[in-house]
């Protein structure tokens, strides 16, 4: 393992409350907004203004912080929205795409058990 990756992993481990994988996942995703940002990325939204137009109306300061956290954890990457554009776009990394079955399972649970819900994430 490269030294930089070892250092990053050590730094990440130092902030964890326990080695439990569920606790570690909750440290990243266990707030009100992060999984909704990931859902929006899976639905094809990619720009900051796209996320703010989401029906849940994530406050812009919180959205900025959640995107920074997802970038720091390697779950999303940032790229120019278009060649020569000043705006940035966000895209799920391979690590982020690995969350797709998790969100699909959560969607199905919501459809099965919470009346009045409808699927936004298909497939």
Give the separation between CA 119 and CA 81, rounded to whole angstroms: 27
> Which whole number is the average pLDDT over 88-93?
97
CATH of the domain at 78: 1.10.10.10
Would you state the pLDDT for residue 12?
55
Q: How many structural domains compose the chain?
A: 2
> Which whole number is the average pLDDT over 92-105?
98
pLDDT band at 121 (very low <50, low <70, confident <90, very high): low
> Which whole number is the average pLDDT over 76-83?
90
Q: Are residues 10 and 53 in the same domain?
A: no
Closest CA to 39 of 71, 75, 64: 75
pLDDT band at 82 (very low <50, low <70, confident <90, very high): confident
Give the separation between CA 111 and CA 123, rounded to whole angstroms: 14
Residue 1 has pLDDT above 90, yes or no: no
Q: Are residues 23 and 41 in the same domain?
A: no
Q: Are residues 65 and 84 in the same domain?
A: yes
Burial group, residue 37, by CB count within 10 angstroms (0-12, 13-18, 19+): buried
Q: pTM of the full predicted structure?
A: 0.83
Q: Are residues 66 and 48 in the same domain?
A: yes
Structural domain span for residue 14: 1-30
Q: Are residues 75 and 122 in the same domain?
A: yes
Residue 10 has pLDDT above 50, yes or no: no
- Which residue matches tokens 């298909």? 122
Which residues does 23 contact at the CB level (< 8 Å), separation at least 6? 16, 17
User: Inter-axis angle of helices 34-42 and 60-72, to 10 degrees?
Assistant: 80
Least confident interval from 6-10, 16-20, 78-82: 6-10
Would you state the pLDDT for residue 87?
87
* Joined tokens for residue 2: 């490269």
């Amino acid at each position: 393992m490269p030294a930089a990756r070892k250092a990053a992993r050590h730094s990440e481990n130092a902030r964890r409350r326990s080695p439990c994988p569920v606790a570690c996942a909750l440290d990243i995703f266990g707030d009100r907004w992060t999984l909704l940002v990931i859902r929006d990325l899976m639905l094809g939204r990619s720009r900051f203004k796209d996320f703010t137009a989401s029906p849940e109306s994530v406050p812009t300061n919180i959205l900025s912080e959640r995107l920074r956290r997802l970038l720091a954890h390697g779950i999303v990457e940032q790229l120019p929205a278009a060649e020569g554009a000043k705006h940035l776009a966000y895209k799920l990394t391979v690590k982020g795409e690995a969350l797709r079955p998790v969100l699909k399972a959560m969607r199905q649970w919501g459809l099965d058990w919470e009346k009045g819900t409808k699927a936004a994430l298909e497939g």
